[in-house]
A and B are shown apart, each in its own frame.
Chain A
Amino acid sequence: DPARRAKAIVKAVTHFNDPAILAEVSKGLGEPMRGLEIGAIKKEELLAGRGW
């Protein structure tokens, strides 16, 4: 849930020194955005080759 994660990031930055709030906003965020290994991307979809 990107919106929820974004809100959590804002609150975490604002209350960086409050462990209770940091713990609270970190709950239930689901999976983070997954990385994509370069070798797994099709050649035509690599950024360097896209476009003109």
Chain B
Amino acid sequence: MKIGVLALQGSFAEHVATLRRLGVEAVEVRLPSQLEDLDGLIIPGGESTTIGKLLDSYGFLEQLRPRISAGFPVYGTCAGLILLARDVGGLDQPLLATMDLVVDRNAYGRQIDSFEADVPIAGIGSEPFHAIFIRAPKIKAVGPDVEVLGTHSDGGIVAARQGNLLVSAFHPELTDDSRFHQYFVDLCAANREARARRASVGSHE
């Protein structure tokens, strides 16, 4: 299995390191042609407007959106979450806009308002996740097909899943806790198996 990490800007090195710790083949992605044989993609934390503009200028948007509609797994952390959301409050920035989320950017304030908190996350075990929030966004609203995985004590949704799309407002790649990455790896593996089954069924017709 091979998972890509979008390496245009941001915390891509940390995500690659976490995936490799889990024994997964991880590759840095800087051009759409590198998306071809991937089982999933992580969009790292960083500066979402920058990543969005680079996605746009290198032709990623037209390639990624149809693949996502067809079931390609994507995990977005922080800036990645923003890029996946369909609504970021009317700000003029390029978005993938494929996940039914309404998001508030920099919802907790400026750099000095960054914080860490223990958040229980569904699907990764009973031990809360020690989450690092850096100028984090808040998910204000989710569509009917979105599963909420974690909520901060102030009520803000901090992790969610919509089918093959996973997001977190915090940065697991900056900690040693690889459970959330494992959750995404498992999602990609299940997706890969489903594709293989569909392909083999097709060949029997």
A-to-B contact residues, CB < 8 Å: 10-11, 14-15, 18
Q: Which residues of A contact B31 (CB under 8 A)?
A: 15, 18
Q: Which residues of A contact B57 (CB under 8 A)?
A: 11
CB contact between A18 and one of B9, B30, B54 (< 8 Å): that residue: B30
| Residue on A nearest B50 in the bound complex, by CB | A10
Q: Is B8 an interface residue (CB 8 A)?
A: yes
CA distance A19 to B9 in the complex (A): 19
Give A34 Cβ to nearest chain B Cβ, in Å. 29
10 A-B pairs within 8 Å (CB atoms) are namely: A10-B54, A11-B57, A14-B8, A14-B9, A14-B30, A14-B54, A15-B30, A15-B31, A18-B30, A18-B31
| Residue on B nearest A15 in the bound complex, by CB | B30
CA distance A18 to B31 in the complex (A): 10
8 closest Cβ contacts across the A-B interface? A14-B8, A15-B30, A14-B54, A14-B30, A14-B9, A18-B30, A10-B54, A18-B31
Q: Which residues of B contact A18 (CB under 8 A)?
A: 30-31
Q: How many residues of B contact A (CB 8 A)?
A: 6
CA distance A15 to B31 in the complex (A): 9
Apart from A11-B57, A14-B54: 8 A-B pairs, beta carbons within 8 A: A10-B54, A14-B8, A14-B9, A14-B30, A15-B30, A15-B31, A18-B30, A18-B31
CA distance A10 to B54 in the complex (A): 9
Q: Which residues of B contact A15 (CB under 8 A)?
A: 30-31
Q: Which residues of A contact B8 (CB under 8 A)?
A: 14
CA distance A40 to B31 in the complex (A): 46
Give B149 Cβ to nearest chain A Cβ, in Å. 31
Give A16 Cβ to nearest chain B Cβ, in Å. 9
| Residue on B nearest A7 in the bound complex, by CB | B57
Q: Which residues of B contact A10 (CB under 8 A)?
A: 54
CA distance A30 to B176 in the complex (A): 47
Q: Which residues of A contact B54 (CB under 8 A)?
A: 10, 14
Give A23 Cβ to nearest chain B Cβ, in Å. 15
Interface centre among A10, A11, A14 (most CB of B within 10 A): A14
CA distance A11 to B9 in the complex (A): 11
CA distance A3 to B43 in the complex (A): 27
